[in-house]
Amino acid sequence: MRSFSLLLVWIFLIQCAGTKQMVSYDHEFSEYIKQYKTGFLANPRSPLGQDDLKHLDFFSANPDWKLRCDCETAKNPTPFEMPTYSGVTRTYILHTIARCPFNDKTMVLHLYKNIHQPINPLYKNNLFLPFKDPTNGEETYGGGRYINLLVTDIHEGKITIDFNKSYNPWCAYSDGFNCPIPPKENNIDIPIKSGEKNFKGQYKKSAG
């Protein structure tokens, strides 16, 4: 009887810990969404205005998609031209290869760095993770999604990649933008049911 009581207590504690983690992450994700939407209003080149923000759609927050990944620094990488959907290219270099366990699989992801020195020094440590997955074209934007990271996010060979914070390129909302096409190395065969979904508003065409 005593063993059974201890088992019930143990189960209760596990459930409480899981609930606390979920509530904490819900708050984190909610704050992220607020900042994400504010970013559109703060940028003069933004394709979206205040009335458009209600049409943004996201999967429910899920901390299981916040993955702890092993990092390997790319050896002797060479700059390459990453094409965009508008036809121009952007010059990137492979910076890090991340191996992220999810369930019984491991995703291998390539993290890139723009080789051009940014005008704003705040962006000098930016890493870029563009990816595609089987949800594209149905639940999410057909051209793939992006995640922003920092070189300084890497600690002792580890980085946390949160797919809840994957977002659409601006090409999902309007034409007139140069949105990089995710390289085939980041074509993930696992449906990423996390992050931003298809835009529910009206796609915008540039004048003329």
Q: Residue 54: inside a domain, yes or no?
A: no
Domain containing residue 155: 59-186
In this structure, is residue 15 part of a structural domain? no
Does residue 128 form part of some domain? yes
CA distances from 120 to 124, 125, 126, 180 (A): 8, 11, 11, 20
The reply to whether 10 falls in a domain is no
Which residues are CB-contacts of 26 (< 8 A; sequence separation ≥ 6)? 61
How many whole angstroms from its chain centre is CA 163? 5
- Would 172 be classed as within a structural domain? yes
Q: Does residue 111 lie within any of the structural domains?
A: yes
62 vs 83: CA distance, rounded Å = 32
Beta-strand ranges (E) seen in the chain are 66-73, 80-83, 89-102, 105-114, 126-131, 145-150, 158-162
Contact, 76 vs 164, CB < 8 A?
Answer: no
Residue type, 82: M
* Residue 12 in domain: no
Is 71 within the bounds of a domain?
A: yes
pLDDT in tens, the chain (208 residues): 555 444 444 444 444 444 445 468 999 999 999 999 999 999 999 999 999 999 999 999 999 999 999 999 999 999 999 999 999 999 999 999 999 999 999 999 999 999 876 655 666 899 999 999 999 999 999 999 999 999 999 999 999 999 999 999 999 999 999 999 999 999 999 999 999 999 999 999 875 4
Copy the structure tokens of residue 84: 């965009």
Q: How many domains does the chain have?
A: 1
The span from the CA of 162 to the CA of 166, in Å, is 7
